[in-house]
Structure 1
Amino acid sequence: MKKLKLVVVGNGMAGVRTLEELLKLDPNLYDITVFGSEPYPNYNRILLSPVLTGEQTIQDIILNDLDWYAQNRIELLLNRNVVKINRARKEVQADDGTVAKYDRLLLATGSNPVILPVPGCDLNGVVTFRDIRDVNRMIDAAKVYRHAVVIGGGLLGLEAANGLAARGMKVSVVHLGSSLLDRQLDSAAAGLLQTSLEQRGLTFLMAHQTESVMGDEAGKVKGIRFKDGSELAADLIVMAVGIRPNTELADQAGIHTDRGIIVNDTLQTYDPSIYAVGECVSHRGMAYGLVAPLFEQAKVAANHLAFFGISRYPGSVTSTKLKVTGIDVFSAGDYTGGGDTEAITLSDPIGGVYKKLVIKDDKLIGACLYGDTVDGAWYFRLIREAKSINDLRDHLMFGEGSVGDTGHAGQNSVAGMSDDTEVCGCNGVCKGTIVKAIREQGLFTVDEVKKHTKAASSCGSCAGLVEQILINCVGGAANIKPKSEKPICGCCNFTHGEIRKAIREHRLMSIADAMRFLEWRSADGCATCRPALNYYVTSTWPGQARDDAQSRLANERTHANIQKDGTYSVVPRMWGGVTTPAELRRIADVADKYHVPRVKVTGGQRIDLLGIQKKDLPNVWKDLDMPSGHAYGKGLRTVKTCVGSEFCRFGTQDSTAMGIALEKDLVGMSSPHKVKLAVSGCPRNCAESGIKDIGVIAVDSGWELYVGGNGGIKTEVAQFFVKVKTAEEVLEYSGAFLQLYREEAFYLERTCHYLGRVGLDHVKARVVNDASHRAELYARLKFALSFEKDPWVERIANPAARREFETLTA
């Protein structure tokens, strides 16, 4: 049978995605011709920003290479603009005279960037941010010029500003509105975003209206003038003020348009032979500029082009995810609220976290997240499903991992996810598609999953979930790239190990030194790399490197643990879990004086005062006269003990005294991750020593040491390390192990994962079997601890330290 002819005008993500879906349904139905106006095959426009920053190249973001077109027998005509549609003759004509006949025509003409109609808008040095040509122009300008102005504080504007700043330009962002991302964020989240970006070197001129672009006699940009008469010098001006559906070709052909090419629920225009998808489309009065809705359209259009006729496009609930200079923001649905809605909010400006969830009629209808967006996909799923969240309400703010037995799978429970659960929002890939590809194609790596499904191939935020699905399908056969082989973040190309080595070998004493030497892409780094670099320089050069408090995690900076209602938790130190009547009276008095709503014994044998107001924290510490910062940092937390031989009839050693000695020996220690210890007075193990980072168990002839335990989400049983006779040996072996961990582990790597990476034999060879090396490690730890003093010892009575906290929490 003679094949039908399908012509696609537009070689972008929406048009080519429609072809991919069509080829799945019927690969032999059409002879396909694609016209593309650019010299490249289909590429990922979402990743133009990493190309601008230098993190990727154009080749890295190609979605369908030339071989793909050839393998699918698709005629690809690049560098050609279709200028005319003859509907009567069913043919299109390109600007070079090429004519192609069609039985079905798919318009995927995308959108055009908006150029402000102001004097000087056509000067040399005025660019948009829409395609590779624009990116290349900005990269070339950054090599020569110094000052850039970006007009527009939306998604593209901020990404352009970030990219130019990464290229070394001084960037000012001009925005007509009073807050950034005003279509994606509420004012609170936008304010946090602006503050963070300002700290990273960007300048903002809010509520400024452009009057004209100024140029020199040669027709080159030299600045910008505003309506209020003020001016700003600039060598480059990027207009990122919006997009407009490209309907020129449809208008010329007499196809009905109104702020887009009008289509019905089958993506068919008023001409039944012509379909349209993507940013050029107006569906039920809506035009979408995000990729997920475009892919939903593509699937429906392909269904009808294949004559299946059983699918419809009702419109999309949209979500937005942006990562710029290490800041994560996410929004979905109706995040503004108001009227008959209610909002649950969590605001932690110091920790850089803001969450707003909007509820109506017992359903989640909107979400706005800043700083912590890990549960964005889950919230988006709840919004789309429009199911009752009554059972989830108490857990909603704390994410999918906290819902427990409410009937919803946690974020790590991929086995509980339904096959139609969307995993990759950028490319519209659901779990079932990934599982099917893994099983049918025999996939064992995330890169293979990307190639076959496109999941995790765009922004990459779902890569961790794809890894979990892969592991769930093939178990230990999954070839997951270890952390040791991954760059620390997008700011550089170096792994944790390479960075630690450079800091040690080249005596890099500060975050700035490390970034400069390793040629960091972003001037100030991000929330991922800064805490890691701070730990690496301070642990490598104790007493010489300056601790950058602002690069520590939020709880370490504020020295308290924020709770879901905005109050704080204080856990007074009790050495080894032992207290006195006097301390208990002070705790009780503080609880009464400051109306503490909950006093609770923790799993680590300490007393937790929950619900303390931020303004009361300094006075609570002063009245307690007991340090409490140990409970929150990446370092020594607690040493849990049982009563041991002093009171227990089964006890063989004084575990309480041993626990107190260990805690005092290690007080103030920082480490890659939190460290918990326990000492049990006999093998009955009442202190749960078998699931601690270091567990000490008393036996008749001394002490057995176990290492690498973890009582968290995934319980890890500690491994036997060594048996010693004396308390002094317990201190030395424990300290030496922890120092080796401090020197070799990656930031945020627990001891169990560190041991899994280097092997227990490696650690034993240096600590157990080599006495001189063990002594050196312990000595280095004690030297470091002479500088890593517990900040709480002096904070209580130190006015300067108190003022620092008040500044941090202002």
Structure 2
Amino acid sequence: GNGISGITAARHIRKRSDDRITVVSGESDHFYSRTALMYIYMGHMRYAHTKPYEDHFWAKNGIDLVRGWVERVDTTSRELELSDGRWITWDVLLVASGSRSNLFGWPGQDLRGVQGLYGLQDLERMERDTTGVRQAVVVGGGLIGVELAEMLHSRGIHVTFLVREPRFWGRVLPEAGSHLIERHLREHGIDLRLGTGLQELVDDGTGRVKAVRTTNREEFPAGFVGIGVGVSPNIGFLQGSGVSTDRGVLVNGFLETNVRDVYAAGDCAQLQAHPEPGRPAIEAVWYTGRMMGEAVARTITGERTAYDPGPWFNSAKFFDIEYQTYGRVPAELEAGHDAHTWEHPDGRRSLHLVWEKDSRRFLGVNALGVRLRHEVFDAWLREGASIDVVVAGLDRAHFDPEFQRRFVREFVVTFTTARS
């Protein structure tokens, strides 16, 4: 795999070792920023701009790049078989094969014009299959779904957005945050249909999609259907290898599998015991993929290093609204916890803070439309700061100086009033 985990590991192994390094990937010749794919489609970037390293970087640093898909892993002979029949031998194997888009067996899901968005080939298919399209449907109310909706909208394609749950991203966002994003999507002209799932996809008679039918017995015309219902670890090639898998490749805290000298990192790795309770066993997040790559590189080169991601962090964008989250912010308030939500009158900015009732220890924050300083919130979470310390320090915790005084004053007033 030549995603963020695999490439980070390769780079750090090279810094620490002169051993031969081979990176195998069937997706692309060189590492690129997967998060930038949408901006290529929207015309903001070119593919060359998404590659953080010059093409000659790899040979210069003694990293061999092999283009090909791994079909089979033999852990006894320590060999990989590629789809074109080539074999590669190894002494140490890092599985960093990422994910694949989920499909759930819907009738018609194999029609042309139906796809997810994960890698470069998906972008190329989308470019081809949306030419001349005027109406599209996006299925799935998560981050990939929003990206697909924004991409299609940027080309003047009318988007019907099907979300099975009663509110947007309801398993992640608290209710007020969900409703803020729902309003924002509709303001951009997205036809958001909550509580509506996909039933089947309709063939136009030539093998291409022409419409979708929903669980509510509605039919929407669609020359293109974007599927954004999550991803699953890409680990099928490990079948029969002896490497233990569940939903992902099972690893311990050092990213070691049950087979000696075989490791896994990134989207495909499933931690059997996460160092931080409450976090998912599979972390399909860019920054944790990078951290896994660096940690496993140290272990492979003789400095056994546990994966220690620190406090949870993630970020995204919903059209014009940036989203950041730090720490533990469940969608539904848990027993023994308290929370406070502040929303700006313009309906485009909000903060949601969570803390323990008895100890008043700060647990986490969601920010929509407000850019927070990573180092400040990371430190508060690591130190176990109280909610009172956090509220008192908000004036140094975000990036918007023009908004700062009024924002902080309003938040403190509403927080104090709600607690009195």
- Among 312, 325, 330, the alignment partner of 2:306 is 312
Output aligned runs, 1:224-239, within 5 Å. 224-239=212-227
- Deviation (angstroms), 1:141: 3.2
Partner of 2:137: 149
CA contact (8 A) 2:29 2:65 kept: no
Partner of 2:344: 348
Partner of 2:322: 328
Partner of 1:494: none
Is 1:40 the counterpart of 2:29 in the alignment? Answer: yes
- 1:192-236 CA deviation, whole Å, 9 max, x = no partner? 111112111111011112110111111110111112211111110
Counterpart residue identity of residue 330, structure 1: Q
SS at match of 2:334: coil
Counterpart residue identity of residue 38, structure 2: S
Partner of 2:397: 400
CA contact (8 A) 1:123 1:221 kept: yes
Partner of 1:244: 232
Q: Counterparts of 1:11 and 1:175 in 2: how far apart (Å)?
A: 32
Q: Counterparts of 1:154 and 1:241 in 2: how far apart (Å)?
A: 7
- Among 410, 415, 419, the alignment partner of 1:563 is 410
Counterpart residue identity of residue 374, structure 1: L
- Among 12, 25, 30, the alignment partner of 2:16 is 25
Q: Counterparts of 2:180 and 2:374 in 1: how far apart (Å)?
A: 18
Is 1:292 the counterpart of 2:269 in the alignment? Answer: no
Where in structure 2 are there 5+ consecutive unaligned residues? 274-280
Output aligned runs, 1:172-321, within 5 Å. 172-284=160-272, 286-309=281-304, 311-314=305-308, 317-321=311-315
Is 1:67 the counterpart of 2:39 in the alignment? Answer: no
- Deviation (angstroms), 1:346: 1.3
Q: Counterparts of 1:47 and 1:183 in 2: how far apart (Å)?
A: 25
CA contact (8 A) 2:109 2:201 kept: yes
Partner of 1:109: 97
CA contact (8 A) 1:184 1:320 kept: no
SS at match of 1:122: coil
Partner of 1:372: 370
Counterpart residue identity of residue 202, structure 2: M
Q: Counterparts of 1:287 and 1:201 in 2: how far apart (Å)?
A: 34
- Among 127, 141, 163, the alignment partner of 1:139 is 127
CA contact (8 A) 2:95 2:265 kept: yes
SS at match of 2:238: helix
CA contact (8 A) 1:142 1:167 kept: no
- Deviation (angstroms), 1:35: 0.9
- Deviation (angstroms), 1:349: 4.0
Q: Counterparts of 1:381 and 1:52 in 2: how far apart (Å)?
A: 37
Q: Which TM-score applies when normalising by structure 1?
A: 0.48
Partner of 2:278: none
Output aligned runs, 1:431-442, within 5 Å. none
Structure number with bigger Rg: 1
- Deviation (angstroms), 1:345: 2.2
For the structure 1 residues 564 and 308, does the alpha-carbon distance in structure 2 shift closer, same or farther, using more than 3 Å as the test? Answer: closer
Alignment length (residue pairs)? 405
The ranges of structure 1 where at least 4 consecutive aligned residues each deviate by more than 4 angstroms after the TM superposition are 396-399
CA contact (8 A) 1:126 1:236 kept: yes
CA contact (8 A) 2:113 2:126 kept: no
Output aligned runs, 1:670-681, within 5 Å. none
Partner of 1:357: 353
SS at match of 2:56: helix
CA contact (8 A) 2:185 2:192 kept: no
Partner of 1:76: 65
For the structure 1 residues 184 and 123, does the alpha-carbon distance in structure 2 shift closer, same or farther, using more than 3 Å as the test? Answer: same
Q: Counterparts of 2:354 and 2:326 in 1: how far apart (Å)?
A: 10
Higher helix share: 1
Output aligned runs, 1:455-604, within 5 Å. 563-564=410-411
Q: Which TM-score applies when normalising by structure 2?
A: 0.89
Q: Counterparts of 1:396 and 1:351 in 2: how far apart (Å)?
A: 24
Q: Counterparts of 1:394 and 1:365 in 2: how far apart (Å)?
A: 13
Partner of 1:389: 386
Counterpart residue identity of residue 376, structure 2: W
Higher strand share: 2
- Deviation (angstroms), 1:315: 5.5
Q: Counterparts of 1:264 and 1:270 in 2: how far apart (Å)?
A: 9
For the structure 1 residues 399 and 185, does the alpha-carbon distance in structure 2 shift closer, same or farther, using more than 3 Å as the test? Answer: farther
Q: Counterparts of 2:83 and 2:263 in 1: how far apart (Å)?
A: 22
Report sequence identity in percent: 24
Q: Counterparts of 1:365 and 1:341 in 2: how far apart (Å)?
A: 9
Output aligned runs, 1:608-687, within 5 Å. none
- Deviation (angstroms), 1:157: 0.6
Higher relative contact order (CA 8 A, sep 6+): 2
Q: Counterparts of 1:160 and 1:353 in 2: how far apart (Å)?
A: 23
Q: Counterparts of 2:346 and 2:16 in 1: how far apart (Å)?
A: 52
- 1:330-383 CA deviation, whole Å, 9 max, x = no partner? 223321332111213212242522111111233221111111123455324422
CA contact (8 A) 1:346 1:566 kept: no
Q: Counterparts of 1:184 and 1:314 in 2: how far apart (Å)?
A: 23
